[in-house]
Amino acid sequence: MLSETDVSARGLADLPEVQSDSLLQLIALCDADTRPEKIDVGVGVFRDGEGRTPILQVIKEAERILNATQETKAYLGGYGDKRFAELLRPILLGEHAADHRIIGLQTPGGCGALRLGFELIATANPRARVLVGTPTWPNHPPIINSVGLGMVDYPYYERGQGSIRFDDMMAALANAEPGDVALLHGCCHNPTGADLDAEQWRQVTEAIVERRLIPFVDIAYQGFGRGLEEDAAGLRGLLAACDEVIVAQSCDKNFSVYRDRVGSLFVKTGSREATERAMAHVLQRAREMWSMPPDHGAAAVRIVLDTPELRDRWLGELAAMRDRINSVRQRIAAADARLAFIGRQFGMFSMLPLSKEQVLKLRESHAIYMADSGRFNIVGMSDGQIGRFIAAVVEAMDA
Ligand SMILES: Cc1ncc(COP(=O)(O)O)c(C=O)c1O
For the segment 342-369, what is each residue's pLDDT rounded down to a tens digit? 999 999 999 999 999 999 999 999 999 9
pLDDT of 2 above 60: no
The atom of ligand 1 lying closest to the CA of 219 is: 3
Task: pLDDT band for 166, please (50, 70, 90 cuts).
Answer: very high
Tell me, in angstroms, the distance from the centre of ligand 1 to residue 12's CA: 31
User: Which pLDDT score, from 0 to 100, does residue 161 have?
Assistant: 83
pLDDT of 1 above 60: no
Distance CA 382, CA 324 (A): 10
Q: How many CA atoms lie within 13 A of 308 on its CB side?
A: 0
Tell me, in angstroms, the distance from the centre of ligand 1 to residue 7's CA: 43
Residues within 6 Å of ligand 1 by CB: 44, 109-111, 137, 185, 190, 218, 220, 250, 252, 258, 263
Residue 134's φ and ψ, nearest 5 degrees, are: -110, 150
Q: Whole-prediction pTM value?
A: 0.96
User: Which pLDDT score, from 0 to 100, does residue 256 have?
Assistant: 98
- The protein residue with its alpha carbon nearest to ligand 1, atom 13, reads 220
Per-chain mean pLDDT for the chain:
96
Task: For ligand 1, pick from 21, 140, 190 the residue to mutate: most ligand atoms within 8 Å of CB.
Answer: 190
Q: Between the CA atoms of 7, 12, 18 and 21, what dihedral angle is there, to the nearest 10 degrees?
A: 170
> Crossing angle, helix 198-211 and helix 166-174, to 10 degrees?
10
The atom of ligand 1 lying closest to the CA of 261 is: 10
Catalytic residue status for 85: no
pLDDT digits (tens, 9 = 90+) for 311-348: 999 999 999 999 999 999 999 999 999 999 999 999 99
Phi and psi based region of residue 275 (left: phi greater than 0; alpha: psi -120 to 50; beta: remaining): alpha
User: Which pLDDT score, from 0 to 100, does residue 160 have?
Assistant: 77
Task: pLDDT band for 306, please (50, 70, 90 cuts).
Answer: very high
> What 3-state DSSP class applies to 134?
strand
pLDDT of 277 above 90: yes
Distance CA 107, CA 76 (A): 13
329 neighbors 343 (Cβ within 8 angstroms): yes
* Among 12-16, 122-126, 293-297, 303-307, the least confident range: 12-16
Choosing from 128, 253, 367, 392, which is the catalytic residue? 253
- The protein residue with its alpha carbon nearest to ligand 1, atom 12, reads 220
91 neighbors 228 (Cβ within 8 angstroms): yes
User: Which pLDDT score, from 0 to 100, does residue 25 have?
Assistant: 86
Q: Residues 6 or more apart from 332 whose CB is under 8 A from it?
A: 339, 342, 343, 378, 386, 389, 390, 393
Choosing from 62, 194, 207, 220, which is the catalytic residue? 220
Choosing from 81, 180, 195, 218, which is the catalytic residue? 218
Catalytic residue status for 201: no
Catalytic residue status for 137: yes
Catalytic residue status for 253: yes
pLDDT digits (tens, 9 = 90+) for 228-246: 999 999 999 999 999 999 9
